[in-house]
Amino acid sequence: MTANTLKLGLIQHASPGPPHAQPGDNLARCGALIREAAGQGATLIVTQELFTAHYFPQVEDDGLFDLAESLDPERPGPSYAALRDLAGELRVTISGSLFERRAPGVYHNTTVTFGPTGEEVGRYRKMHIPDDPRFYEKYYFTPGDLGWQTFGLPEADGRDPAARVGTLVCWDQWFPEAARLTAMKGASLLLYPTAIGYYNHPERGEPADVREQQRDAWLTMMRSHAIANGVFVAAANRVGTENDLTFWGSSFVCGPDGRLIAQASRDRDEVLLAECDLSLIEPQRRGWPFLRDRRTDSYAPLLKRLDD
């Protein structure tokens, strides 16, 4: 553990309660795990995606928009206020994934980060929105309009004051562009609050080998972002079965060489701790200088849908 080591805590848990659970149910469960992480020395703590409730986008129901909360610092909803107060009380940084009610009819899947003085230090609205059977997110979430986001770490920790952390969310993890753009903004670590699992219907669900392929593909994509960009990558995923979905947990942290540093179980509530030595990034990037060699003169078609 060097002076440049960041101690990260990922919060992985089930979300019990009825589909229309009130946010408070899982706030308490998650809050207890955040306290445990801080007690074990984590200074940056990350929740899973939309941790306050069941994974509600399994159905399209306009009553479920009622789960969204104000993230206006002047008039915050209960989850914003709870995370803000917890960060200040525990003197840690917390990135929490929340369902944002921005205006009537405009809702986002948003990560808000609070620093150890309790102030908001970062906000990211999920940019890539999925829509698949049982993941009807395009119905609920307006695509993010804040662009690619990073936040700074407290200088008091003695780390490189330039070190920054990038916030992305779940579906973003399948897009190399999102990881690249956030790393290009100076992120040393990419955080992905996540809600990913498989369809568990006994007849129409996915066979075991497909489930395993999906989980492996998820890890492969995420580790590739670490390698391609020379950054740490961390994902906090939920566990448990909710209706037709079983979330596969496996929250993890990998280093800038793509190797796993820590990984949680597939099925238990856990605090996953990992020490990220940010001083490993520069030698990794000197050894594999991909950022030096990008052919920026030839990337213009990336701004198109297809190059046809």
- Residues 5, 142, 174, 244: which binds a second copy (CB under 8 A)? 174
Q: Which stretch binds a second copy (CB under 8 A): 4-12, 29-37, 236-244, 255-263?
A: 255-263
Rounded CA gap, 276 and 189, in Å?
9
Tell me, what amino acid is at 85? D
Residue with smaller CB distance to a second copy, 11 or 278 = 278
Tell me if 32 contacts a second copy by CB under 8 A: no
DSSP 16-45: -S-TT--THHHHHHHHHHHHHHHHTT-SEE
Residue among 126, 242, 254, 270 flagged as catalytic: 126
- Residues 161, 259, 268, 282: which binds a second copy (CB under 8 A)? 259
Residue with smaller CB distance to a second copy, 224 or 279 = 224
DSSP 228: H
Q: Which stretch binds a second copy (CB under 8 A): 6-14, 20-28, 67-75, 223-231?
A: 223-231
Cβ distance 96 to 128 under 8 Å? no
Catalytic residue check, 126: yes
Q: Would you call 284 helix, strand, or coil by DSSP?
A: helix
- Residues 181, 190, 195, 233: which binds a second copy (CB under 8 A)? 181
Catalytic residue check, 138: no
- What are 9's strand-pairing partners? 45, 273
Rounded CA gap, 84 and 86, in Å?
5
Q: Would you call 165 helix, strand, or coil by DSSP?
A: strand
Tell me if 300 contacts a second copy by CB under 8 A: yes
Residue with smaller CB distance to a second copy, 28 or 300 = 300
Q: Which stretch binds a second copy (CB under 8 A): 25-33, 51-59, 152-160, 184-192?
A: 184-192
Task: Tell me whether strands 164-167 and 187-194 are parallel, antiparallel or unpaired.
Answer: parallel
Q: Which stretch binds a second copy (CB under 8 A): 17-25, 79-87, 153-161, 224-232?
A: 224-232
Tell me if 208 contacts a second copy by CB under 8 A: no
SS3 track for 78-120? HHHHHHHHHHHHHCCEEEEEEEEEEECCEEEEEEEEECCCCCE
Structure tokens at 1: 């553990």
**Residue 11: HSE in the Cβ half-sphere, 13 Å Cα cutoff:** 30
Tell me if 257 contacts a second copy by CB under 8 A: yes
Q: For the chain, what's the residue count?
A: 308
Structure tokens at 176: 């190399």
Tell me if 204 contacts a second copy by CB under 8 A: no
Site for a second copy in 130-149 (CB under 8 A): 130, 132, 143, 147-148
How far is CA 86 from each of CA 83, 95, 225, rounded to the nearest angstrom?
A: 5, 11, 31
Distance of closest approach, residue 245 Cβ to a second copy, in angstroms: 15
Q: Which stretch binds a second copy (CB under 8 A): 27-35, 73-81, 211-219, 244-252?
A: 211-219
Tell me if 227 contacts a second copy by CB under 8 A: yes
Structure tokens at 117: 């003085």
- Residues 89, 155, 216, 282: which binds a second copy (CB under 8 A)? 216
Where does this chain bind a second copy (CB under 8 A)? 127-130, 132, 143, 147-148, 171, 174-178, 180-181, 184-186, 213, 216-217, 220-221, 223-224, 227-228, 257-259, 287-291, 293-296, 298-308
Catalytic positions are 49, 126, 170
